Amino acid sequence: MKYFKINFRCFLLLLLLLLFPAPANAETLEEDRVIAECVFVNQISVGGKTVAKAREALEESLEEAGKAAVTIYWEQTPVTATLGELGLVWAIDEVLEKAATIGYTGSLIQQYKERQDLRNGHLQLYAREYFEEETLAFFLKEQVAAPNDIAPKDATITRENGGFTVTQHENGKEVNQEKTKQQITDAYANAAVGEALIIQAAVEVAEPMYLTESLQQIQDLIGSSYTVYDDGKASPTRSVNVEVATKHINGKVLNPGETVSTSKLMLERTEKNGYQMGTQFVNNQSEDAIGGGICQASTTLYNALLKAEIQIDDRSNHSVMVTYVDPSKDAAIADGSKDLVFTNDKEFPIYIEGYTDGTKVYFLVYGIETRPENRKVTFEYEVTYRVKSESITKKDSSLPTGEVKYSGRNSDEVDSLLLKIVTIDGVEVERTELHKDHYEPTYETVTIGTG
């Protein structure tokens, strides 16, 4: 009796598995599975074929379909290709997964019914057809747009003899690639099998970044600053670096909303770009490096931008105090770590003029003065902590008695902050703390000979 019960349970389990089998898993479909009779994909018979043979038949058909000619016109200029070159794809695996499960899923009764229905007619499936995005985009960019698009020409602005000269901009023409992609897709969807396609590319007017009418608005000086870079004692090469950096920045125009890196404006610090060896501070120590001294250009520009009330996005102080501006008014440049980044947050373009006169470096910011005359903006620094730096004296027997050598310089350890103060008719209405800074100390070394 016990033996009978065990077998009866096994029989029930087997019956349930036959009547209600688990659905076929597409990921485990085997290449030698035979597709049910009378199944068609894209009007190609795959019934009675293995999945592998059906795939071969569909791939051959796709290859043939990909030979259909396509002509894309850039206005009157034709560019020829094939559907295959545009990246035509059939989702073959996807449709075969569906085809291979017909007559094999569900209960035995369901499977039998599906197969009987197929014998009485046929089942037509369609592979999803589309253009591979990267292939189509690359073709339009390299074969249609690149040889034919006409680049727009920016208006230019220069400052000469106390005034501005603005040139006329020129519009260009360019392919709207997204619209053209859609036109190709729509044309293919509506074409007969093997029909040649003719598409008119969506060519549109391309406006330049800088427009004549926009640059002509620039008239007013809205912020300026200068610092002394050569007091007669400065290193000649450091002075050269200040002058070169200033020239690279001079003439920069920023449209409303445009952001720029001062380090990038200065270009890479190389001899090819005009830079020489100069003194700079690294880890509180002075050392010579290509481009040493460029921070004085960025610092002077920073103070001009402050006075113009241009948005500052990123600014860093030096590790030690510099001698050419007050604490918290400097802006250091260090490749990969420190930069002066700013955004034109005005509703009009701005023009940056930078120049040197042999002793001083100047930066001026021009735009449209919209601030009332009775409103004044000043910037004040405040030292919140200071430790006086004192010289270090050393004795050196290798030097003759009485000979003295000096190296380095004294620079206090300082914590400071910068305040923006706004007054109207002389009455303070706003006091804003912009940033806090810490400067490490440096020490002058005095070496006295005892030999």
| pTM over 0.85, yes/no | no
- Based on the fold, state whether residues 294 and 407 are members of the same structural domain: no
- How many residues does this entry show for the chain? 451
Residue at a domain's end among 370, 392, 410: 370
Q: Report the chain's mean pLDDT, rounded to a whole number.
A: 89
Q: What is the pLDDT of residues 244-257, one digit of tens each?
A: 999 999 999 999 99
Give yes or no: residues 365 and 379 share one domain: no
Task: State whether residue 262 is helix, strand or coil.
Answer: helix
User: Is pLDDT of 145 > 80?
Assistant: yes
Over residues 377-398, the pLDDT tens digits come to 999 999 999 999 998 999 888 8
Specify whether the CB–CB gap between 297 and 283 falls below 8 A: no
Mean pLDDT of 129-153: 96
Question: How many domains does the chain contain in total?
Answer: 2
For residues 83 and 189, the answer to whether their CB atoms sit within 8 Å is no
Domain that holds residue 399: 373-451
Looking at 370, 401, 418, which one is the last position of a domain?
A: 370
C-beta of residue 346 within 8 angstroms of C-beta of residue 353: no
The b-or-e profile of 329-356 (16+ CB within 10 A means b, else e) is bbbbbbeeebbbebebbbebbbbbbbeb
Closest CA to 168 of 158, 183, 155: 155
Supply the DSSP symbol for 69. Answer: E
**Domain assignment present for 201:** no
Q: Please check whether residue 181 lies inside any domain of the structure.
A: no
Of the candidates 340, 370, 400, which is a domain's last residue?
370
418-442 burial: b if 16+ Cβ within 10 Å, else e: beeebeeeeeeeeeeeeeebebbbb
